Amino acid sequence: MRLRKAYPENPPTLVVGSVKAKKVVRWFEPGRSTGWDKDDSAIKRRRTVLMSRNGDLLASARAMQSLSNVTRDLATKRLARSDALYFYTKYRKKRGGNEKASQKGF
């Protein structure tokens, strides 16, 4: 009777660099480019986004909110979120809503 060995004759060895990286799946596809750049000033960033959305404050706010939600860059996340809050506030003010109540939700 032959005893079973705990390890095979040639144990597998880990070769550095042999691990395959997972393929990145990009699930967020923006509808159109906004021209937004985190290195621009706040005025220029907001103007370019607003012009890309044909002056629609709510669409601009939603575009910036979606950018803020999907990015991994902390600086981009903060700037896009602040721009989204700016557009949401301007939209509510234009619509005639309560400005203080609108900032609670965002």
pLDDT averaged over 10-residue windows placed end to end, the chain, 106 residues: 58 59 68 85 94 92 91 92 95 78 52
Residue 37 forms part of a structural domain? no
Is the distance from CB of 84 to CB of 65 less than 8 angstroms? yes
Give the pLDDT score at 70: 87
Residue 80 forms part of a structural domain? yes
Give the pLDDT score at 57: 94
How many domains is the chain built from? 1
| CA nearest neighbour of 85 among 51, 104, 101, 61 | 61
* Domain boundaries, position 82: 42-104
| CA nearest neighbour of 66 among 42, 31, 90, 102 | 31
Residue 27 forms part of a structural domain? no
Give the pLDDT score at 8: 58
Residue 67 forms part of a structural domain? yes
Residue 88 forms part of a structural domain? yes
Residue 30 forms part of a structural domain? no
Whole-angstrom Cα distance, residue 99 to residue 87? 12
Give the pLDDT score at 95: 87
